[in-house]
Amino acid sequence: RRARHRTPRPDRKDDTMTGVFITGYGSHLPGAPLPDSALPPLDVPLTSAQARRIGVTRRHWAHHPDTVATMARTAAERALERAGTEPADLGLLILANWTSRRYIPELAPRIATSLGATNAVAFDLCCACAGFLYGLAVADSFLSDGRYRQALVVASETTSQRARPGSRATRVYADGAGAFVLQRDAGRGGSLIDHALATDGTRHEIMDVDSDGHVRTHLPQRELADLVARSIADVSGTVLTRNNLTYDDIDWFVPHTGTAGIQAAVRDRLPIEAGRVLTNFPSAGNVSSAAVPVAVDHFASRGVIRPGQLILSASVGTGWYAAAALYTL
């Protein structure tokens, strides 16, 4: 199916040769896929029905030599190759990551150097699971003001390290990286049409990381799923309304994965049929900020997402962040 009509946001010229384009995308999942049987035992074993409700049948965990930096480099190289762009042509590199944060030095400059992106200004960005979409918005602003021409936004996460050993989170959390190459006035590839961001500091304490580095949730799962669904609906509605679109105009909705319960809550709230929601959660798990680019690469490489089709992606991050992006490939 194709979107019925698309009206660019008012501050963008209605000209196919101008604006910010997505010229390449790529992803990387480390190692061999791990079924449940290959993982450490749980404190309380799951019944088969409980395992089905979790919804993940296999996932990838990073082990030496895989790190946030090496996964980011691999995903970036694949995106650059698809874009036909040399690393030295990049003016900007943004790394989204929260699972392996460092005080100093941060990782983006190291990734830029390892890629050969010697002319790129490189920096890290957090925003938890919303980091990749926030990175797209930041890169769009840098490119649109004319100071830079090409940018790489890459999300790389070792989410598995944030799951308490023996907890059910070990069956959901996984690792991976995904990247987009963006170019101003490229006149080729897909178009980054618009994006919307939101924060809510009153929700700041919903989740945190304990002294051992493991994620803790301070809200019942049903309430958390409802909050995620409302946040995604609000920010998605903002970007659609601003572009005179409805959910009927969207070819594909590619959200952050979260959990199976969160995905169900989002589907229940949004007026979009399940057949137009794309997620590789069962085979990739929750790879946090990398979820959107990993899923986009997965489905575009298999021909499910086709050039010119209209995609809406949305994600949330503890803090509280929400983001949505409207684009084509």
> Is the per-residue pLDDT at 102 higher than 60?
yes
Catalytic residue among 195, 256, 280, 298: 256
* Mean predicted confidence (pLDDT) in 178-190: 96
From the list 55, 46, 151, 132, the residue with the least C-alpha distance to 317 is 132
Position 14 scores a pLDDT of 45
Catalytic residue among 129, 195, 280, 298: 129
pLDDT cut 70: percent of the chain above it: 95
Q: What are the domain boundaries of the chain? A: 20-184, 190-327
Average pLDDT of the chain to the nearest whole number: 94
Residue 93 and residue 112 in contact, taking contact as beta carbons nearer than 8 Å:
yes
Q: How sure is the predictor about 17, in pLDDT bands with cuts at 50, 70 and 90? A: low
Helix (H, G, I), strand (E, B) or coil at 328: coil
97 a catalytic residue: no
The answer to whether domain 20-184 and domain 190-327 are alike in fold is: yes
286 a catalytic residue: yes
Amino acid identity at 141: S
Question: Is the backbone of residue 67 left (phi > 0), alpha (psi -120 to 50) or beta?
Answer: beta
Residue 303: Cβ-neighbour burial (10 angstroms; 0-12, 13-18, 19+):
exposed
CATH number, domain 20-184? 3.40.47.10
Helices 260-269 + 221-242 axis angle, to 10 = 40
> Is the per-residue pLDDT at 321 higher than 60?
yes
* Mean predicted confidence (pLDDT) in 198-219: 96
Catalytic residue among 97, 243, 286, 298: 286
> Is the per-residue pLDDT at 123 higher than 70?
yes
The answer to whether the peptide bond before residue 10 is cis (omega within 30 degrees of 0) is no
Q: How far is CA 105 from CA 36, 96, 212, 312, in A?
A: 35, 15, 21, 34
126 a catalytic residue: no
The answer to whether the peptide bond before residue 98 is cis (omega within 30 degrees of 0) is no
Position 68 scores a pLDDT of 98
Give dist(CA 3, CA 326) in Å, integer.
12
Q: How sure is the predictor about 10, in pLDDT bands with cuts at 50, 70 and 90? A: very low
Q: Is the domain covering 190-327 a CATH 3.40.47.10 domain? A: yes
